[in-house]
Amino acid sequence: MKKHILIVGGGFAGINLIKSLKNDKRFKITLVDKNNYHFFPPLIYQVATSFIEASNISYPFRKLFSNDKHVKFHMGSLLKVNPENKTIETDTGNLNYDYLVLALGTESNFFGMENVKKCALPMKNIEEALYLRNHILLTLEEAARNKDIKEAEKLQNIVIAGGGPTGVELAGMLAEMGKYIAQKEYPEIKLGLSNLYLIDALPTLLSPMSQLAQETAYEKLKELGVKILLNVSVKDYTDHKVILSDGTSIETETLIWTSGVIGKEIPGLPEESIGKGRRVLVDAYNKVEGTANIYALGDLSLMLAEEKFPKGHPQLAQVAIQQGKNLAANFKRIEDGKVLEQFRYNDKGSMAIISKYNAVVDLPKHSFNGFIAWLTWLFIHIIPLVGFKNKIQMAMDWFRLFITNNPSIRLILFPKRNTGNG
């Protein structure tokens, strides 16, 4: 009998687990995801800023595994795990398993601020990125029509909460969008009223990265005109005002939230299996504590067993990729009756792009910035894209965009069912 591995979540962890197991005839695999596609989160901010199409960083699961007869796809959202009878409930039906792998990732953490949760603009998935793209473009159109100076300034102000890699990269992209595009395409707008704010509660940008990266990000964004506010956090968002922890406020129609994440909720798991940040506690083999035959991978998992990472691994793509491959090898070892291998993270470094021709790269023993770092960033972000066409298309698009400084996909689209006869 083939062992049925049920994988919930088609991100980096789930996809790499499948790739490593799909040719082993001892397993049948079912991938469950609420979307029918895999996407590349590190580039989602470029979708939100109209620089690339969503299709450039997305790929359908069914096409990806169309030649793999041991892999099936089930489109649905996880509702509950039932460990006692080895089943899960989804909004499109129930499924059983021999091994369950939870790789659902995280969602935006609004830290209990209901107004922020209701009104801020997160950027964790393709739908949110496209919504943000529409919002920015619509706000620019409204600003172009508006004759009231105070109202125009509110429309043109953009506040980004969160000074990590996503916030920094988004700030750089929006600043360059204003510099190269807004001046030319929105002549009605008085750009002197525009303010782009980047806010973080910590004393530095890119806090997990090197001092070189932190200082470079700060200096380059300042040069681009970004107003950086450190040691201050967002406390509320009401009446179109972002309320800060120092008592000040910023009037804006656009609060972009990149300030934190929390693990997806998994109903049915024991309470003792859930750790800090709602991440699922796992042992050194990624097995969920207090369960049998249930595993968690990637950003959702919290492994405290590795000495180098006593507070858990960073929530990065490389961790998810390596965990997926390690668990695949261990599933094979289980079937072979061999000793399992503990997960050990191989830290390959981190990077962030700041502006055109400028990025920062932290390798385990060396950090560098500038044009070479920018080329490194481009190369590293093309390699993991799923599908050869995506790699070629991305390389061509980037080449064109960085020469012309003028992407041509700033379309305001409202998908809607036509119920009329016309």
For residues 70 and 24, give the distance between their C-alpha atoms in angstroms, rounded to a whole number: 8
Structural domain containing residue 276: 3-34+76-108+261-336
Residue 289 lies in a domain: yes
Nearest to 297 by CA among 332, 274, 329, 321: 321
Report pTM: 0.92
pLDDT score, position 422: 44
For residues 175 and 256, give the distance between their C-alpha atoms in angstroms, rounded to a whole number: 14
Residue 234 lies in a domain: yes
Q: Are residues 118 and 213 in the same domain?
A: yes
For residues 353 and 370, give the distance between their C-alpha atoms in angstroms, rounded to a whole number: 9
Residue 184 lies in a domain: yes
259, 279, 309 — which closes off a domain?
259
For residues 365 and 58, give the distance between their C-alpha atoms in angstroms, rounded to a whole number: 33
Q: Are residues 159 and 181 in the same domain?
A: yes
Residue 342 lies in a domain: no
- CA geometry: angle at 410 spanning 132 and 239, to 5°? 35
224, 259, 294 — which closes off a domain?
259
Q: Which two tokens stand for residue 382?
A: 């093309």
Reduced to 3 states, what is the DSSP secondary structure of residue 395? helix
209, 228, 259 — which closes off a domain?
259
Give, for 196, the enclosing helix (H) or strand (E).
Answer: strand 196-200
Q: Are residues 121 and 145 in the same domain?
A: yes
How much of the chain is helix, strand and coil, in % rounded to 5? 35, 25, 40
For residues 122 and 107, give the distance between their C-alpha atoms in angstroms, rounded to a whole number: 9
For residues 49 and 29, give the distance between their C-alpha atoms in angstroms, rounded to a whole number: 36
Residue 198 lies in a domain: yes
Torsional sign, CA 156, 197, 216, 107: negative
Q: Are residues 253 and 268 in the same domain?
A: no
Q: Are residues 145 and 239 in the same domain?
A: yes
Q: Are residues 199 and 137 in the same domain?
A: yes
Residue 56 lies in a domain: no
pLDDT tens series, the chain, 422 aa: 899 999 999 999 999 999 999 999 999 999 999 999 999 998 899 899 988 888 888 999 999 999 999 999 999 999 999 999 999 999 999 999 999 999 999 999 999 999 999 999 999 999 999 999 999 999 989 988 888 888 888 999 999 999 999 999 999 999 988 887 877 888 888 766 689 999 999 999 999 899 999 999 999 999 999 999 999 999 999 999 999 999 999 999 999 999 989 999 999 999 999 999 999 999 999 999 999 999 999 999 999 999 999 999 999 999 999 999 999 999 999 999 999 999 999 998 899 989 888 899 999 889 999 989 988 887 887 777 666 566 777 777 777 776 766 666 677 777 665 554 44
Q: Are residues 89 and 156 in the same domain?
A: no
pLDDT score, position 386: 65
Q: Are residues 228 and 318 in the same domain?
A: no
Q: Are residues 160 and 204 in the same domain?
A: yes
CATH number for the domain spanning 129: value is 3.50.50.100
Q: Are residues 20 and 94 in the same domain?
A: yes
**Cβ–Cβ under 8 Å, residues 214 and 369:** no
Q: Are residues 223 and 283 in the same domain?
A: no
Nearest to 374 by CA among 351, 391, 406: 351
Residue 135 lies in a domain: yes
CATH number for the domain spanning 315: value is 3.50.50.60
The DSSP bridge partners found for residue 184 are none
Give me the number of domains the chain comprises: 2
Reduced to 3 states, what is the DSSP secondary structure of residue 152? helix
DSSP class of residue 298? Answer: G
Q: Which residues contact 251 (CB under 8 A, 6 or more apart)?
A: 150, 153, 154, 157, 240, 241
- Angle separating helix axes 317-336 and 12-21, nearest 10 degrees: 30
Q: How far is CA 112 from CA 115, 116, 236, 241, in A?
A: 9, 9, 10, 18
Give, for 296, the enclosing helix (H) or strand (E).
Answer: strand 294-296
Counting beta carbons within 10 angstroms of the beta carbon of residue 149, is it exposed (0 to 12), middle (13 to 18) or buried (19 or more)? exposed
Residue 365 lies in a domain: no
Q: Are residues 101 and 223 in the same domain?
A: no
Q: Is the backbone of residue 311 left (phi > 0), alpha (psi -120 to 50) or beta?
A: alpha
